[in-house]
C-alpha cells in the first residue's frame, strides 16, 4: 500500500471506528416495545456488524468483499430509513472506490454521503455533532480524490469546507487533519511556504491533543516542503523528529518512512555513505513488516546511492532486486523507473547499445501506465515525472549519437507528450499508446533477461509472508534462508547475463545494423505517409537541448530524417535566448544581431537541406527555453525566417491531426475587454489590468470583415456567455489579457471582460469539436525575471487541442495595441477567403507588417504591470507612432496545432 493510501486509511478509519459503534446503542426515545421495533433493532445491529466487517476487510485490502459488506449494510439502512447509517455506508464504499482508482464513482458516493450528513445534522446535539463530523470527513475524502486527480484548487476548496465544519463543532482532531490536508495541494502547486504554514498549524493541534501519529506525519510534511525549497539540513531536522516519535510509539511503518526520507535528504546533499546507512535501516524495517512496495523503493534508493559512488556492479545488484519485486507485485510504475536506472548505470559504463535497450523498455512501460502515476505518493510524483522526462532525453541523446535518427525522432515526440501531460497533470493517454519499436536483438535481450527473474518473482510473496511472522518455526526460518539463496543466485545470473558473450555479440550487431534498420521501422513509414498525404512542401523540425550540445532533427518531405549536432553548452544557449527575447520586446533595439546569432545555431546547420527539399512550411517542435522565442524572428543576414517559411508550432505529432481544412466563410465569436480596471493575483504575483483601447476597434473591424461575427464587449464578455455560445462558432477571438505563468496550469489564465478569469486547467473540460481556431490577441508570458521551460505556452495550445480545437494563436509578450489590430486585420482578411491555410494567413499578415507602411499607436497591448515588491518586467513604452517592421510587433504571435 502506498504512503498516500496509508495516510488515507489513518485519516478515514477513525471516522468509521467512532461512528459505527455509535449505531449499536440506540437512543431510548427512538426505541419501541413492539415486535416490529425489535425486528428493526435486529436489522440495525446486523447492518452495524456489516459495517464493522467491511472495515476489517478494507484494512486487509479485501476490497471486493468490503464492497459487498457495505453494499448490504447500505441496503438495510435504506430500508430502515436510517440516514446516518446510509451516510456511513456510502463513505465506506467511496473510500474503496478511491483505493481502486475509480475516481468518478468515488466522487459520486462522497457527494451523496456529504449531502446526507448535511441533511440530517439538525436533531439532538450529540447526533448533530456526529453528523457534522461525518459531513466534514466526507468533504475531506472528496478533497483527497480531487487532489489525486490533480485538481488542486477544487481540493483546497473542499479541505477548507471540512476545516470550517470541524472548527464549528470543536473537533480538534478533524481540524488538524484538514490543516495537514491543505498543506499537500499547496506543495503540489509549488507554494511551499504556504504548505509549511498549514503543516505547522496541524502540528500544533496534534501536539495539543496528544496525537503523536498525526504529529509525526505533520513533521514529515514540513520536512518534505523544506526539501522542496532545497533546505535539506532543515528537512533533516524535521525528519529526525518524526523518526523519534515513530520509535517512541512503536510505529514501524512511520519509522521506516522517516528513515527513507532522511536517506533521501542526505543523498541530495551528496552524502551518499550517510544516505546508504539510513536506506539500509529503512530496508530492514520494511522487510520485517512485509511491505514489498516500500522494500522495492529502498532497493532502488540504495542502487542510486551506490551508483553515485561509482560502485556500478553493486548498484545494478540492488536495481535488479528492485525490478524483481516490482514485477512480482505488479508495480509497473517502479518497474519502468528501474529499467531507466539500469540503463543509466550501463550508460555510465560505456555500454551504449545495452543502455538503449533498457531505456527503451523503460519508455515503453511508462507509455502504457500514465494512469498508474496516481499510485505513487504525491511527494514522489514530481520526482517521478522528472525522471520519466530524463529517460526520454537520455534515450534520444544516445540514439542520435549512434545515428539512429528515426528512433530518436519518435522518442522526441513522446517526450513532448510526456512533458505536456506532466504539466497539466493529465494522466490520460490521449490516444497515444505508441511504443518504441525494439529490434529483434533487443527483444531477445529483454526476454532472456526478465526470464531469469521468474523463480524469484514466484517466491517473492512467500518470502514476504515469512518475514512478517513475529515468531518462526525452524522450518520457516530454514525456508527463508533457502529463498534468500535463490534470490542471491538469480541476481548473480542476471549480472553475468549482461556481460555474457551472447549479449556482447547482440550489442555489436545492433551497433552495426541499427542506423540502416531505422528506415525500415513502421513509425518511419507511417510518418512519411502522413506527410505525403498533405501534398505540400512541409518539413518536421525537432530540437533537443542537452547540457553539452544542441541536437537538430529535420524530416524533409520524402527523405530520411537528418540529424545535425551543434556544439553549444546549454547555459550559453539559454543566455543567447534570454538576450534575444529581451531585444525582441524592445521596439527600439537592434535585434538583428542576436537574431542572426541564433539563426546560426538553429537554422544554418539545416539551411541547405531546407533549400534542397524546396520546403515551404516548417512544423516546429521546440524544446525547453526555445519555446519563449519565435522561430519566425530569426534572421539570416538578409531576411527574417518568416519571409522564407510558414511556421507552425507543434505540441506533439502524436497529439495533432495534421490535415488541410478550409476557413471559408468562418463563423466568429469575438470578445473584447475595452474599459475598466481589474486586479488579480496568481502564483504570488499581483496583476493590474486596464481596458484595451484598440480592442473594440479590432473586434469591430473583424465584424466588418467577417459578416458572421457575434461581438461581446466588457461585461457581456463573460464566462457564461462564452461557454454558452462557443460551440456554435468556427473561430473564437478574444481581445483581452491572458497571462501564461510558470508552474501550475491553474496560475495561467484568460481575463474576461467582467473581471473574472478562466484558468488553463479549466479549459480541458470544454468540448469544442467544431472550432478550428482560437485567437488570444493580448497575452503575455509572466516570467518573474527568470525563464522556465516554456510549457505554459504550449500547454495553452495543448489544452485547446484536447477540447477538439484544431489550432490556436497566442502571443509571447506584451504587444503594441495598435500593432496588434493591424496584424489581426491582415490575418482575418486572408482567412475569410478560405484560400489560405491558417499558417499561410499568419505568415502573410506578418510579412505585411514587415514590408508595409503601417503605423501604430505605441500603447502596450497587454497593459499588465506587477505591483511593487513582485518580480517581473513592466511593459514597454513605445513612441506614439512608429513603423511596424520591428519583430516586436509581428513576431510574438505563434500558431500552435493544425495550421494547415
Nearest 10 degrees: Cα torsion 94, 96, 97, 98: 80
Query: How much is the average pLDDT of 876-896?
Result: 74
Give percent of the chain above pLDDT 70: 84
pLDDT confidence of 5, banded at 50, 70, 90? very low
C-alpha cell at 730: 468556427
Rounded Cα distance between 428 and 810, Å, is 25
How do the domains of the chain map onto residue ranges?
1-28+41-170, 325-373+397-469+512-534, 540-622, 668-897
Q: Is the pLDDT score of 474 beyond 80?
A: yes
Split at pLDDT 50, 70, 90, the class of 60 is low
Q: Is the dihedral of CA 680, 682, 685, 687 positive or negative?
A: negative
In this prediction, residues 810-826 reach a mean pLDDT of 82
Question: What integer is the mean pLDDT of 881-885?
Answer: 70
Please tell me the total number of residues recorded for the chain in this structure.
Answer: 900
Q: What is the mean pLDDT of residues 348-375?
A: 79
| Cβ contact 438:373 at 8 Å | no
| 773-782 and 731-741 strand pairing | parallel
Is the pLDDT assigned to residue 9 strictly greater than 70? no
Output the pTM of the full model: 0.75
The per-residue pLDDT for 545 is 95
Grade residue 16 by pLDDT with cuts at 50, 70 and 90: very low
Superfamily of structural domain 668-897? Flavodoxin domain (3.40.50.360)
Task: Check: CB of residue 731 under 8 Å from CB of residue 773.
Answer: yes
From residue 577, give the alpha-carbon distance in Å to each of 102, 507, 601, 897.
44, 39, 11, 23
User: What pLDDT is recorded for position 219?
Assistant: 96
- Per the model's pLDDT, the better-predicted residue between 556 and 461 turns out to be 556
SS (H, E, C) 103-166: HHHHHHHHHHHHHHHHHCCCCCHHHHHHHHHHHHHHHHHHHHHHHHCCCHHHHHHHHHHHHHHH
pLDDT of res. 365: 84
**Which is higher by pLDDT, 95 or 283?**
283
- How does pLDDT run across 681-718, given as a tens digit for each residue? 876 778 889 998 888 988 998 888 888 899 999 999 99
Q: How far apart are CA 423 and CA 761, in angstroms?
A: 10
pLDDT in tens, 434-452: 678 888 899 999 999 989 9
Is 50 exceeded by the pLDDT of residue 35? no
- Residue 494 C-alpha cell reads as 542476471
pLDDT per residue as tens digits for the range 834-850: 888 999 999 999 999 99
Q: What is the pLDDT of residue 519?
A: 66
CA dist 840 and 446 (Å) reads: 47
Q: What is the dihedral of CA 756, 762, 764, 770, to 10 degrees?
A: -20
Q: What is the DSSP string of 212-224?
A: HHHHHHHHHHHHH
Distance, CA of 12 to CA of 31 (rounded, Å): 30
**Cell matching residue 761:** 486547467
- What is the pLDDT at residue 268? 93
- Tell me: pLDDT of 665 over 90: no
The most confident of the ranges 504-513, 565-574, 757-766 is: 565-574
Express as a percent the part of the chain with pLDDT over 90: 42
The cell for 637 is 543576414
- Dump pLDDT digits (tens) for 278-332: 999 999 999 888 888 889 989 999 999 999 999 999 999 999 999 998 888 877 7
Cα-based torsion angle of the residue sequence 134, 135, 141, 142 in order, rounded to the nearest 10 degrees: 160
| pLDDT the model gives residue 460 | 75
Over residues 578-604, the mean pLDDT reads 95
* Number of Cβ within a 10 Å radius of residue 271: 15
Across the beta sheet with 865-866, the strand order is 677-682, 685-690, 865-866
- Average of per-residue pLDDT across 775-798: 76
| Of 526 and 79, the one with more pLDDT | 79
**What superfamily does domain 1-28+41-170 belong to in CATH?**
Tetratricopeptide repeat domain (1.25.40.10)
* Vertex 341: Cα angle to 338 and 343 (nearest 5): 110
Q: What's residue 130's pLDDT?
A: 59
Rounded average pLDDT over 153-174: 91
Task: Tell me what the mean pLDDT of segment 495-508 comes to.
Answer: 89
* One-character DSSP codes across 609-637: HHHHTT--EEEEE--GGGGGS-GGG-B-S
SS3 685: strand
Q: How many CB atoms neighbour CB 433 within 10 A? A: 10
| Beta strand pairing call for 731-741 and 668-672 | parallel
In the chain, the largest separation of any two C-alpha atoms, in whole Å, equals 100
State the helix-helix crossing angle for 454-468 and 272-289, rounded to 10 degrees.
70
Amino acid at each position: 500500500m502506498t504512503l498516500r493510501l496509508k495516510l488515507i486509511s489513518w485519516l478515514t478509519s477513525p471516522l468509521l471506528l467512532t461512528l459505527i459503534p455509535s449505531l449499536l446503542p440506540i437512543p431510548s426515545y427512538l426505541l419501541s416495545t413492539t415486535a416490529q421495533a425489535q425486528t428493526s433493532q435486529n436489522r440495525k445491529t446486523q447492518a452495524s456488524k456489516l459495517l464493522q466487517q467491511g472495515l476489517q476487510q478494507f484494512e486487509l485490502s479485501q476490497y471486493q468483499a468490503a464492497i459487498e459488506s457495505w453494499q448490504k449494510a447500505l441496503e438495510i439502512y435504506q430500508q430502515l430509513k436510517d440516514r446516518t447509517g446510509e451516510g456511513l455506508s456510502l463513505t465506506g464504499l467511496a473510500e474503496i472506490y478511491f483505493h481502486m482508482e475509480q475516481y468518478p464513482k468515488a466522487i459520486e458516493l462522497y457527494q451523496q454521503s456529504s449531502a446526507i450528513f448535511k441533511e440530517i445534522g439538525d436533531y439532538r446535539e450529540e447526533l448533530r455533532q456526529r453528523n457534522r463530523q461525518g459531513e466534514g470527513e466526507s468533504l475531506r475524502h472528496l478533497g483527497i480524490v480531487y487532489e489525486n486527480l490533480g485538481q488542486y484548487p477544487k481540493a483546497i476548496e473542499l479541505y477548507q469546507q471540512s476545516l470550517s465544519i470541524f472548527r464549528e463543532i470543536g473537533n480538534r482532531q478533524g481540524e488538524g487533519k484538514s490543516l495537514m490536508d491543505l498543506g499537500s495541494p499547496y506543495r503540489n502547486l509549488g507554494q511551499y511556504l504556504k504548505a509549511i504554514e498549514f503543516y505547522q498549524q496541524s502540528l500544533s493541534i496534534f501536539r495539543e491533543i496528544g496525537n503523536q501519529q498525526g504529529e509525526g506525519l505533520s513533521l514529515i510534511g514540513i520536512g518534505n516542503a523544506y526539501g522542496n525549497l532545497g533546505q535539506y539540513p532543515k528537512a533533516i531536522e524535521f525528519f529526525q523528529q518524526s523518526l523519534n516519535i515513530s520509535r517512541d510509539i512503536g510505529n514501524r511503518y512511520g519509522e521506516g518512512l522517516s528513515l527513507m526520507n532522511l536517506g533521501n535528504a542526505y543523498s541530495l546533499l551528496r552524502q551518499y555513505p550517510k544516505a546508504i546507512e539510513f536506506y539500509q535501516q529503512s530496508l530492514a524495517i520494511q522487510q520485517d513488516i512485509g511491505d514489498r512496495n516500500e522494500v522495492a523503493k529502498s532497493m532502488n534508493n540504495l542502487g542510486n546511492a551506490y551508483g553515485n559512488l561509482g560502485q556500478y556492479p553493486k548498484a545494478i545488484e540492488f536495481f535488479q532486486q528492485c525490478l524483481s519485486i516490482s514485477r512480482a507485485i505488479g508495480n509497473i510504475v517502479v518497474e519502468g523507473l528501474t529499467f531507466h536506472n539500469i540503463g543509466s548505470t550501463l550508460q555510465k559504463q560505456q555500454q551504449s547499445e545495452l543502455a538503449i535497450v533498457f531505456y527503451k523498455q523503460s519508455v515503453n512501460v511508462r507509455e502504457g501506465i500514465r494512469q498508474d502515476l496516481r499510485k505513487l505518493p504525491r511527494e514522489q510524483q514530481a520526482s517521478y515525472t522528472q525522471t520519466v522526462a530524463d529517460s526520454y532525453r537520455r534515450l534520444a541523446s544516445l540514439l542520435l549519437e549512434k545515428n539512429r535518427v528515426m528512433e530518436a525522432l519518435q522518442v522526441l515526440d513522446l517526450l513532448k507528450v510526456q512533458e505536456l501531460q506532466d504539466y497539466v497533470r493529465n494522466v490520460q493517454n490521449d490516444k497515444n499508446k505508441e511504443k518504441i519499436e525494439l529490434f529483434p536483438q533487443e527483444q531477445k535481450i529483454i526476454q532472456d533477461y526478465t526470464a531469469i527473474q521468474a523463480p524469484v518473482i514466484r517466491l517473492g510473496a512467500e518470502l514476504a509472508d515469512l518475514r512478517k511472522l513475529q515468531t518462526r518455526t525452524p522450518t520457516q526460518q530454514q525456508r527463508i534462508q533457502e529463498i534468500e539463496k535463490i534470490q542471491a543466485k538469480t541476481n548473480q545470473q542476471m549480472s553475468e547475463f549482461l556481460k555474457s558473450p551472447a549479449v556482447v555479440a547482440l550489442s555489436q550487431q545492433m551497433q552495426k545494423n541499427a542506423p540502416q534498420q531505422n528506415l525500415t521501422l513502421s513509425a518511419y513509414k507511417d510518418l512519411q505517409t502522413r506527410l505525403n498525404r498533405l501534398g505540400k512542401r512541409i518539413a518536421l523540425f525537432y530540437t533537443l537541448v542537452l547540457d553539452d550540445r544542441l541536437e537538430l532533427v529535420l524530416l524533409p518531405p520524402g527523405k530520411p530524417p537528418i540529424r545535425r549536432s551543434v556544439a553549444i553548452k546549454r547555459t550559453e544557449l539559454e543566455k543567447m535566448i534570454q538576450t534575444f527575447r529581451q531585444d525582441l520586446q524592445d521596439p527600439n533595439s537592434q535585434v538583428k544581431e542576436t537574431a542572426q546569432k541564433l539563426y546560426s545555431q538553429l537554422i544554418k546547420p539545416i539551411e541547405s537541406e531546407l533549400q534542397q527539399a524546396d520546403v515551404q512550411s516548417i512544423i516546429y517542435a521546440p524544446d525547453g527555453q526555445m519555446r519563449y522565442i519565435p522561430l519566425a524572428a530569426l534572421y539570416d543576414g538578409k531576411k527574417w525566417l518568416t519571409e522564407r517559411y510558414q511556421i507552425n508550432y507543434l505540441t506533439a505529432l502524436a497529439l495533432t491531426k495534421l490535415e488541410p481544412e478550409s476557413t471559408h466563410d468562418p463563423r466568429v465569436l469575438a470578445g473584447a475587454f475595452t474599459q475598466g480596471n481589474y486586479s488579480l493575483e496568481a502564483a504570488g504575483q499581483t496583476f493590474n489590468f486596464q481596458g484595451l483601447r484598440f480592442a473594440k476597434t479590432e473586434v469591430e473591424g473583424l465584424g466588418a470583415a467577417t459578416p458572421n461575427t457575434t461581438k461581446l464587449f466588457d461585461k457581456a464578455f463573460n464566462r457564461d456567455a462564452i461557454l454558452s455560445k462557443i460551440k456554435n462558432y468556427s473561430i473564437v477571438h478574444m481581445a483581452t489579457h491572458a497571462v501564461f505563468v510558470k508552474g501550475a496550469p491553474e496560475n495561467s489564465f484568460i481575463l474576461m471582460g467582467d473581471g473574472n478569469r478562466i484558468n488553463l486547467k479549466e479549459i480541458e473540460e470544454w468540448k469544442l469539436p467544431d472550432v478550428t481556431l482560437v485567437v488570444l490577441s493580448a497575452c503575455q508570458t509572466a516570467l518573474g525575471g527568470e525563464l522556465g521551460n516554456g510549457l505554459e505556452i504550449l500547454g495553452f495550445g495543448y489544452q485547446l487541442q484536447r477540447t477538439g480545437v484544431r489550432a490556436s494563436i497566442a502571443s509571447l509578450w506584451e504587444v503594441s495595441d495598435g500593432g496588434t489590430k493591424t496584424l489581426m486585420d491582415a490575418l482575418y482578411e486572408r482567412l475569410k477567403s478560405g484560400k489560405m491555410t491558417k499558417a499561410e494567413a499568419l505568415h502573410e499578415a506578418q510579412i505585411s507588417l514587415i514590408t508595409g507602411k503601417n503605423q501604430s499607436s505605441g500603447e502596450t497591448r497587454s497593459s499588465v504591470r506587477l505591483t511593487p515588491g513582485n518580480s517581473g518586467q513592466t511593459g514597454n513604452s513605445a513612441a506614439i507612432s512608429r513603423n511596424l517592421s520591428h519583430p516586436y510587433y509581428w513576431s510574438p504571435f505563434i500558431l500552435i496545432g493544425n495550421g494547415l
